[in-house]
Structure 1
Amino acid sequence: MKGTWVDRRAIVAGLLVSTATLSLSNHVAVAQDDPLPSWSEGQPKRSIVDFVSAVTREGSPDFVPAPERIAAFDNDGTLWCEQPMYVQLAFALDRVKVLAGKHPEWRKKQPFKAVLDNDIAALAKSGEKGLVELVMAAHAGMTTAEFEKIASDWIATARHPKFARPYTELVYLPMLELLAYLRANGFKTFIVSGGGIEFMRPWSEKIYGIPPEQVVGSSIKTKFEIDGGHPALMRLPAIDLVDDGPGKPVGINSHIGRRPIAAFGNSDGDFQMLQWTTGQGGRRFGLIVHHTDAEREYSYDRKSSFGRLDNALDAAAANKWTVVSMKDDWKRIFSFQ
């Protein structure tokens, strides 16, 4: 898919219609002398500590009561690796391959043929319509409980193509430290992601310490019905919310009910969330993770097929958002490095 810009909202729409785990207790210690040990000394680290100190110190003009200390984190590319494609897209492609035996017609029908032939270029050419059709077949038509089991089983066994490790090991150690640091200072941390809400909820607490009720994501419509004598929610082939770009403030308002005072992202899909968070009066904080380390992870921004960072990067200085260079500002990226 080199040289092809894949619209995040198109992928999300498609994904919706359709372990070796990292222990926080083992890898993230909120030390009193240095709460962010994997962060290099520099402006980004200082800006985080200064912000937390200002909003949590009683008597400070920037003090924010604990119930209002809401921090919103994008997931893909902000908390874990999103290259060479979004993890949930990899999941969807695998599901199509699993189901292909029941659908021999897919061998000659696009975009299914592209998936079965591992032809990513042809898949990209199918556009939003093809992605929606693809994942309608892979994600919908089952109960929420059935989908949760399928997603949980996949995330426990799937491996990243570059690192040959479970995707759940491809979480960023500095961001785990940041999550723990904020929670230790009275913040409530939320995931606000373009990824599917029911794809993330089964493992978010184990990996990030974020319980399912604090996960905001894209969603499809569901319908209550009696299945085999038992009440169930059936996943329907229809979009409810695309929680990406301008959809993120909408999702925050619907699910959280408070505007965050801190937001963390890495791409143009997080632009409006950062604007929504920092465009209010009082002390606010916005941070962008800039992928600049091709050796330890990946290097990409303006022309990336996934996680494109262009407009938000240009707007960072004017909005006083902190930009973190993974190469320069993180001593370690993954716990295994």
Structure 2
Amino acid sequence: MRNAALSVAVFMIPAALFADPLPSWGTSASKDRIIEFVEAVTDPNGVDYVTPAERVAVFDNDGTLWAEQPVYFQLTFALDRLAELAEADPSILTTPTLEAAAKGDLQAVAEGGHDALIEVLNTTHSGASVEEFQSTVAEWLDTARHPDTGLTYDQMTYQPMVELLRYLRDEGFSTYIVSGGGLHFMRVFAEDAYGIPPEQVLGTYADTTYETANGSPVITKAPGIAFIDDKEGKPVNIERTIGRRPILAVGNSDGDFAMLEWTTAGDGPRLGVLIHHTDAEREWAYDRESPIGKLVDGLDKGPGLGWVIVDMANDWNRIYTGGE
């Protein structure tokens, strides 16, 4: 009788309670560590319980939540935008750098270094209101295709990471993007792609101005970079903007090292996670020698700091949200 009653009781428990919160993650130590951490900090009877207000999780974007090869997607947008603007008005190509960039010559832009990149960004990202700029980004995301996958860029978000974000929010976490990417660029797609609202997106931002045009107030994107949200800038921006030290940080490159280091150095239960790009067949394999997403310190020091190193090839059953 007792066994029968137990069977009925189990049958009556909602199936969702038995569901795998991370179905696109394969069976692995990485997945186990993440789930064990979440269960520990959300168990009100456990010694590692963390109140919902303190459950802050921060994520890099490029290479962590979506792909970043062969170049950062925002740079691809800038080159496409420059070509479009130049077709309408060739006079904007006032330097050899802009002429080369309008032709898609990435090597020339790379050889010009920081100054060349800023020149391209100033030409393509400034002079418009924030709303006008974001409308242009939205149109590009709807139509542009990645040269290797043929997917739209927002289809190249990582399904396992979308699941992780959802799982964390279901467990009372607040999830933030903290990325070197442009603030106004990422806010266009972050909510639809990841469920992260604009006010929880931290990124690099340019100068802006407030003015009244035709009787209406407008915030306009101005030339110049006001703040770069990368490396040591990430924890600085988190402290300034969020006001709480996260208990979970996820990145993929040495640009994220300081963010993970600061997160995991705090008191109480904490976890750092690095996404290691090891899957040359379904995505790209790169780390130490890559000019984009370079990962050296994270691989060398992360394990000793207790960080989880996710092996993309072995730990993920699926890569992209689109195309599969």
After TM superposition, the score normalised by the length of structure 2 is 0.92
Alignment match, 1:183: 169
CA offset at residue 31 of structure 1? 6.3
Match of 1:40 in 2: 26
Please provide the CA RMSD for this pair.
Answer: 1.6
The partner residue of 1:288 within 266, 269, 274 is: 274
User: Residue 328 of structure 1 aligns with which residue?
Assistant: 314
Give the Å deviation of 1:143. 1.0
Query: Given that residues 83 and 103 in structure 2 are in contact (C-alpha distance below 8 angstroms), is that contact kept between their aligned partners in structure 1?
Result: no
Deviation at 1:105, TM superposition (A): 4.9
- Which residue, 50, 70, 75 being the options, matches 2:36? 50
- Residue 277, structure 1, aligned to residue 277, structure 2: no
Matching residue's letter, 2:239:
N
Structure 1 residues 147 and 101: alpha-carbon distance in aligned structure 2, compared to 1, 3 A threshold:
same
Task: Give the number of the structure whose alpha-carbon radius of gyration is greater.
Answer: 2
SS at match of 2:41: helix
- Evaluate the alpha carbon distance shift between residue 200 and residue 30 of structure 1 in structure 2; reply closer, same or farther with a 3 A threshold: farther
TM-fit CA distance, 1:196: 0.6
Q: How many Å separate the matches in 2 of 1:32 and 1:205?
A: 27
Amino acid at match of 1:57: D
The 1-side partners of 2:318 and 2:61 are apart by 18
Task: Structure 2 unaligned segments of length 5 or more: list them.
Answer: 1-14
Shift of 1:209: 0.6
Alignment of 1:171-320 (within 5 A): 171-320=157-306
Tell me the secondary structure at the aligned position of residue 202 of structure 1. Answer: coil
Q: Deviation of residue 107 (structure 1)?
A: 5.9
Equivalent residue of 1:111, what SS? Answer: helix
Cα displacement string for residues 138-182 of structure 1 (whole angstroms, at most 9, x for unaligned residues): 111111111111111111111111111111110111111111111
Higher relative contact order (CA closer than 8 Å, sequence separation 6+): 1
Secondary structure of 1:164's aligned partner: coil
Contact 1:30 1:181 in 2 (8 A): no
Paired with 2:260 and 2:285, the residues of 1 have a C-alpha distance of 22
Pick one of 113, 119, 128 that aligns with 2:105. 119
Q: 1:139 to 1:30 in 2, by over 3 A?
A: farther
Separation of aligned partners in 2, 1:31 and 1:235:
47
Higher mean C-alpha deviation, range 191-200 or range 117-126:
117-126
1:17-36 equivalences in 2 (<5 Å)? 32-36=18-22
Q: Is the Cα contact below 8 Å between 2:178 and 2:201 reproduced in 1?
A: yes
Verify the 8 A CA contact 1:77 1:266 in the aligned structure 2: yes
Corresponding position of 1:85: 71
Q: Distance in 2 between matches of 1:294 and 1:224?
A: 46
* Bigger shift: residues 98-107 or 290-299: 98-107
- Mapped to 1, the partners of 2:94 and 2:238 lie a distance apart of 42
Q: Which runs of 5+ in 1 are unaligned?
A: 1-28
Q: Deviations over 1:236-272 (max 9, x none)?
A: 1122211111110111112211111000000011011
Provide the C-alpha distance between the structure 1 equivalents of 2:201 and 2:126, rounded to a whole number of angstroms: 20
Q: Percent identity?
A: 48
Report how far residue 313 of structure 1 moved: 1.6
Q: Which residue of the other structure, out of 146, 153, 156, is the alignment partner of 1:160? A: 146
Partner of 2:12: none
Shift of 1:116: 2.8
Are the aligned partners of 2:274 and 2:308 in contact in 1 as well (CA < 8 Å)? yes
User: Structure 1 residue 213: deviation in Å?
Assistant: 0.8
Give the CA deviation at 1:185: 0.5
Measure the CA separation in 2 of the matches of 1:224 and 1:30: 49
Residue type at the aligned position of 1:302: R
Task: Tell me by how many angstroms 1:93 deviates.
Answer: 0.7
